[in-house]
Amino acid sequence: MNITDPQIILGTMDFGTRIVPAQAFEILDSFVAGGGVWLDTANCYSFWTDPSGVGGASERVIGEWLRARPGARDTVRIATKVRHNPLVPHRPESAEGLSAQAVHAGVEASLRRLGVDHVDLLWAHAEDRTVPLEETVGAFGALVRDGVALRIGAANHAAWRVERARSLAREQGVEPWTALQLRHSLVQPRPLTPLAESGHRLLTAEDVDLARSEELLVWSYTSLMWGSYVRADKPLPQTYDHPGTARVLAALDDMANELSSTRNQVVLAWLMRQGINPIVGASRVEQIEEALAARRVRVSDEHLARFAQAR
């Protein structure tokens, strides 16, 4: 696992839909002012809440912000994703997929919306087993070769598929996937129970083992469980209702008091202490300020051990 200087990533999924542009601009400005660097978006964000029924709103808002902030592109790094944008409005089953044509078309459209000539990291948003993996690997490798993507990674992929893709990339002589993005947080669902969010894939011990062995970058999403750590009106999903969760939350309260931090800050610091880069969504400036302050929270080996024992 690449553990060098883990960072808070700003998740922009709701920009342009639930979060209006003016509000998004304030969050982006605050994030950059606080030393934040990475923005995470996707070409499909957020088709499920956009009246148009297709994605692109988040990327358009980021593009508008970049145009309104000369020099901002030199300050931030942009990560986007291809795979899930519907080709037919309101029809998620028409998602573009990961064929070479779909990957190239998706990235070209993303660059237009963002108003940039390259992205710093391009993710394959999820697997597409209807397309030969060799084809997807070649398409992503060509984008790196052409300077359209500086780095490439796999989100929501099984570890064995990532390693197979990396082997194929070596055979083709192209850039391999060197980053993983998966769902991970301090609390964990009951083993063997499906997540309500069917497209989500949890970070597993196998993923961590692969990342450490191959020195891959790891990003986590749903890091703060939609606010469930700090908001009584946002209870954890039913699958998290088990004794381990109660023990972990009790330990979290103890450590938050010891470290003079919020629950959210301790969770983020816990992730970064393990070399994981947490993605944090925010609808208010205060939320991103709180998240960035987690970089100053010092989670020790003893804290890690207490959490591990509680789980």
Average pLDDT, the chain: 97
Q: Do residues 118 and 66 touch, judged by C-beta distance below 8 A?
A: no
What's the average model confidence in pLDDT over 150-177? 98
Q: Is the pLDDT of residue 109 over 70?
A: yes
Structural domain contains residue 306: no
pLDDT value of position 103: 98
pLDDT value of position 194: 87
Give the pLDDT confidence of 92-107 residue by residue, as tens digits: 999 999 999 999 999 9
Structural domain contains residue 110: yes
Total tally of structural domains belonging to the chain: 1
Structural domain contains residue 131: yes
Give the pLDDT confidence of 40-79 residue by residue, as tens digits: 999 999 999 999 999 999 999 999 999 999 999 999 999 9
What's the average model confidence in pLDDT over 217-240? 96
The residue written with tokens 């070399």 in the block is: 275
pLDDT value of position 311: 85
pLDDT grade, residue 13 (50/70/90)? very high
Q: Is the pLDDT of residue 271 over 90?
A: yes
Query: Which CATH number does the domain housing residue 87 bear?
Result: 3.20.20.100
Look at residues 275, 286, 289, 287 and name the one whose alpha carbon lies nearest to residue 226: 287
Structural domain contains residue 97: yes
Q: Is the pLDDT of residue 244 over 70?
A: yes
What's the average model confidence in pLDDT over 298-302? 95
What's the average model confidence in pLDDT over 137-165? 98
Calculate what percentage of the chain has a pLDDT beyond 70: 99
Question: Can you tell me the distance from the alpha carbon of 147 to that of 308, in angstroms, rounded to the nearest whole number?
Answer: 42
Whole-model pTM: value is 0.96
What's the average model confidence in pLDDT over 242-265? 97
pLDDT value of position 3: 62
Structural domain contains residue 24: yes
Give the pLDDT confidence of 186-213 residue by residue, as tens digits: 999 998 888 989 899 999 999 999 999 9
What's the average model confidence in pLDDT over 123-144? 98
What does the buried/exposed string (b/e) look like for 6-33 if buried means 16 or more CB atoms within 10 Å of the residue's CB? Answer: bbbbbbbbbbbbebeeebbbebbbbbbe
Structural domain contains residue 252: no
Calculate what percentage of the chain has a pLDDT beyond 90: 95
Q: Copy the structure tokens of residue 203.
A: 């970070």
Structural domain contains residue 181: yes
Question: Can you tell me the distance from the alpha carbon of 121 to that of 48, in angstroms, rounded to the nearest whole number?
Answer: 24
The residue written with tokens 């995470």 in the block is: 40
φ, ψ of residue 78 in degrees (nearest 5): -115, 130
Look at residues 56, 48, 52 and name the one whose alpha carbon lies nearest to residue 12: 56
pLDDT value of position 192: 87
Q: Is the pLDDT of residue 138 over 90?
A: yes
Q: Is the pLDDT of residue 4 over 90?
A: no
Structural domain contains residue 244: no
Domain that holds residue 61: 9-235+264-299
